[in-house]
Amino acid sequence: MVATPYLHGNSEPCPACELRREVVARQVVRPLAPCNVCAGLGYLTFSDAEIVQRTVDEARRLYWPQFEQRVREHNRRDP
């Protein structure tokens, strides 16, 4: 499975393209060459491992404290 950049959170902006966009005034008018970093896409796709790691980190941040709270409440109710 290949990570797709079209899903929200599966890519980040290409820093090289951002730097190129900052240069507004040009001395010589010529067609832009594609970016060497992202091949002109404007974003960098995360690897499958990076997507899984970010998902796990976010789930741990959001859901783990509530899970622990439910376990504590359940243990208080049981004799």
Shared domain for 39 and 55, answered yes or no, is no
> Residue-wise over 9-34: b if at least 16 C-beta within 10 A, else e?
ebbeebeebeeeeeeeeeeeeeeeee
- Note the pTM of the prediction, 2 decimals: 0.50
Q: Which residues pair with 13 in a beta bridge?
A: 43
Shared domain for 41 and 13, answered yes or no, is yes
Domain carrying residue 76: 46-79
Dihedral angle sign, alpha carbons of residues 16, 22, 23, 24 = positive
Residue 10: pLDDT band (50, 70, 90) is confident
- Give per-residue pLDDT as tens, 34-72: 777 787 777 788 888 888 898 888 888 888 878 888 888
For residue 6, the model assigns a pLDDT of: 66
Shared domain for 21 and 34, answered yes or no, is yes
Reply yes or no on whether the pLDDT at 32 is more than 70: no
Residue 2, domain member (yes or no): no
Q: What percent of the chain has pLDDT over 90?
A: 0
Provide the domain count of the chain: 2
